[in-house]
């Protein structure tokens, strides 16, 4: 399952991240949508962490990738990172878009796909948009996520 970088729409200010990847596979979209429906945005932090870990397991299954550790470090600045050598994700909080961004780095590395910040931003925000357009648009309006470069 390989999604390639396809800039499909831009504005006067630049490429809109939430529209970069229109071809994300349905099982991936449904996995994210189901995680949101499970209450991701309504539950306490510890439950959010569990839901992110479950989503990680499901996405690894869909992409046929080994499940790697996810660590949550409260004081970590920079939101998240994928440590290639250690093969683990580090998140400062259980943020869906941050997790998807870092997961994209992991998947792209493992599947030998284009791996850049632009791709990770585009894939994660496009996936969030495809899974729940209204919540994504609301997050963009509130300035919670960057939607264009």
- Do the beta carbons of residue 108 and residue 120 sit within 8 Å? yes
What percent of the chain is modeled with pLDDT above 90? 71
In the prediction, which pLDDT does 28 show? 98
Q: Residue range 109-133: average pLDDT?
A: 94
Query: What span, in angstroms and rounded, lies between the C-alpha atoms of 5 and 46?
Result: 34
Percent of the chain with pLDDT over 70: 85
pLDDT band per the 50, 70, 90 thresholds, residue 77? low
Amino acid 76: pLDDT: 59
Give the SS3 label for residue 72: strand
């Amino acid at each position: 399952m390989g999604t390639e970088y396809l800039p499909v729409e831009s504005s006067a200010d630049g490429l809109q991240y939430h529209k970069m990847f229109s071809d994300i596979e349905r099982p991936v979209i449904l996995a994210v949508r189901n995680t949101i429906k499970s209450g991701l945005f309504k539950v306490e932090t510890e439950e959010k962490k569990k839901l992110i870990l479950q989503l990680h397991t499901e996405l690894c299954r869909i992409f046929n990738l080994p499940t790697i550790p996810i660590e949550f470090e409260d004081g970590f600045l920079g939101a998240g990172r994928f440590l290639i050598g250690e093969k683990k994700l580090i998140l400062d909080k259980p943020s869906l878009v941050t997790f998807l961004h870092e997961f994209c780095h992991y998947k792209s590395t493992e599947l030998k796909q284009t791996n850049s910040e632009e791709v990770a931003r585009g894939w994660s925000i496009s996936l969030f948009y495809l899974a729940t357009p209204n919540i994504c648009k609301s997050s963009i309006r509130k300035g919670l996520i960057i939607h264009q470069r």
